[in-house]
Amino acid sequence: MFLQVLTLLGALGMFLYGMNMMSSGLQKAAGNRLRGLLTAMTSSPFKGVMTGLGITSIIQSSSATTVMVVGFVNAALLTLNQAVGVIMGANIGTTVTAWLVSLLGFKADISIFAVPLMALGFIMSIAKSEKYKNISEFIIGFSLLFLGLSLMKNSVPDLRETPEILSFIQQWTGYGFGSVLIFLVFGTLLTLVLQSSSATMALTLIMMSLGWIPFDMAAAMVLGENIGTTITANIAAAVGNPNARRAALAHTFFNVFGVIWALALFRPFLSLVGLIITWLGYPNPALIDYAAGIEAGSAESTAALYGVSMLHTLFNTFNTCILIWFIPLIVRFVTWAIKDKPEDEEQTARLQFINAGPIGTAELALTEAKNEICHFAQICHNGLDYIRSAVHATDEDKFEFYRKKLVKYEEIADRIEYEIATFLNALPEENISEDARQQVKAMYKIIGELESLGDAGESISRILSRRNIHNKTFTDKQVEKVDTMLSLVSKAYEVMISNLQSNENGQAELRRAVDCEIEINDMRNTLREEEILRLEQNDSEYHSSVYYLDIISEIERMGDFIINISEALQKQ
């Protein structure tokens, strides 16, 4: 018996691993297209629902879709209205898994083909083409999923050999509507533990097909699974921004509302499912004697499997048809429930986009990393105002205030570089495409250059501090010329940030960046020559000129870091 339990747990692990592997392979094969589909096909609630349905049907994981949506809301790529529609569609799309298991996993022993499919997957995995490698991952995952399902079916004890199990389960089924609530909670908890409604659905189908539970209790478990599956998105959003948490709450609201009306109309709902299954030519699953056991592959077994799959599909379809008209109200409710927090400068200088929980897949995490890098660049640009203010400050207290700000911004740049690098390090390199690998390589280069921009601001504050210690000052003309240099650097920042935000980094964008760099270099050379000429004419105080030229050189170095970022984008 103990060995049988271990086999069941191992088979469940194989099922889950196979599903994750199959989903990951498909997402990597179509990563960019999935991102494009999500952002392009959400202009209306109906399109959003169809997008969520289509993507979840493809990748076979509503959790992956909802986590992806939460991440996109966190990254400001989707609005809350768009996200709610996609989440509704994802709930319908996840029902495809139940139908696959019902049609293939029970009617035919698909595990017979699992090993030959693995051989095909292995052959494709050693191909040079990245596309074939991703498809091989999907094939192997598909094989493991159904091999695990077959092992689960075979490792579940036969009630005819162990009737004491049936008597234990029957104690739970004798409390009328109370039993429905018990199995609803059981389905919720099981999904929370397994973190996969598809795995819980497979176990529900197995338990019912072997006569452990009747159809109505299986239906209650399915309703519970719909609540349990919302926890994944809530975990992902827990450390995200308010909109990410609102998207996860909308997912929870959608499923909890559906369970409430399904429980209120539980018996009529089951009757409707039974009517549809009967219309298809099979026995009514609600009238089958499960305690007596049903033969695998029989009409009763098929009716039971189809009944649960049909109930799951109808539940999510009806729920979507009801709530799709109330998306604006749902958005208002979740916005009221999760309020925005007033942000100070310290809060805006923290990560905004890549802190929405665990990484779903490497391909889809790149969008969040890209947006975080754009945010990092904007923070560095904001620090430029403090450089200008520090140069202009004549009062010691004011200068000290701006000096501390520049030191703080240097620390912020160090921290953000480390956090983004940590995020990129967490991406499984062997599981991302060559194109994505090149993007990651460019991102490391970019965050290094952005961190150097933070260092440059702190270096300028040190030069100014040494100037003040020696009681030196700049002339009005020197301050004006520093302003001119900073304005050119600010212009270069704007071009660089535009390049970071753009999806296409063509020659025109690089040309603009190069033009800004040339302007900065030419101005540095002009100002240097003018100052040296003034020194030769004894028209300038030597030490002040040294500090002035040091600042001009440091500002020019900032231009070098900025052009390096645009050039790194070209190499992606």
DSSP letter string, 420-444: HHHHHHTS-GGGS-HHHHHHHHHHH
Q: For residues 531-546, give the mean pLDDT.
A: 79
Q: How confident is the model at residue 166 (pLDDT cuts 50, 70, 90)?
A: very low
pLDDT in tens, 178-234: 888 888 888 888 777 766 666 777 777 777 776 777 888 888 988 988 888 787 667
What's the pLDDT at 559? 92
Q: What is the arithmetic mean of pLDDT over 375-380? A: 90
- List the single range of 231-245, 267-281, 413-427 with lowest mean pLDDT: 231-245
pLDDT above 90 for 481: yes
- Higher per-residue pLDDT: 364 or 256: 256
| List of domains in the chain | 2-337 (no CATH), 360-570 (1.20.58.220)
Query: Which comes out higher in pLDDT, residue 43 or 439?
Result: 439
Q: What is the pLDDT of residue 518?
A: 93
Average pLDDT over residues 349-363: 59
Tell me the percentage of the chain whose pLDDT exceeds 70: 71
Asked whether residue 524 carries a pLDDT value surpassing 60, the answer given is yes
Q: Does the structure show a pLDDT above 60 at 95?
A: yes
Question: What's the confidence (pLDDT) of residue 539?
Answer: 59
Poorest-confidence range of 245-259, 261-275, 303-317, 535-549?
Answer: 535-549
Joined together, the tokens standing for residue 93 give 């799309």
Q: What is the mean predicted confidence (pLDDT) over 507-519?
A: 81
Residue 84 is predicted with a pLDDT of: 84
Q: How confident is the model at residue 282 (pLDDT cuts 50, 70, 90)?
A: confident
Of residues 505 and 535, more confidence is placed in 535
pTM for the model stands at 0.60
Residue whose C-alpha is closest to residue 309's, from 373, 215, 242, 397: 215
Q: In whole angstroms, what is the distance from residue 388 CA to residue 6 CA?
A: 68
pLDDT for residue 552: 93
Q: Half-sphere exposure (CA, 13 Å, Cβ side) for 480?
A: 3
Query: CB of 221 within 8 A of CB of 186?
Result: yes
- Give the residue from 132, 571, 77 showing the smallest Cα distance to 366: 77
For the segment 358-363, the average pLDDT, to the nearest whole number, is 53
pLDDT digits (tens, 9 = 90+) for 31-63: 556 556 555 555 677 777 877 777 676 655 666
Q: Mean pLDDT across the chain, nearest whole number?
A: 78
* Residue 322 reports pLDDT greater than 70: yes
Q: Which residues contact 217 (CB under 8 A, 6 or more apart)?
A: 172, 173, 179, 180, 183
DSSP string covering 491-508: HHHHHHHHHHH-S---HH
| Tens digit of each residue's pLDDT (9 = 90 or more) over 212-228 | 778 888 889 889 888 88
Higher pLDDT, residue 93 or 528: 528
d(CA 466, CA 546): 11
pLDDT surpassing 60 at residue 356: no
pLDDT of residue 38: 57
Tokens 């990245």 found at: 130
**Structure confidence at residue 163 (pLDDT):** 44
DSSP 449: H
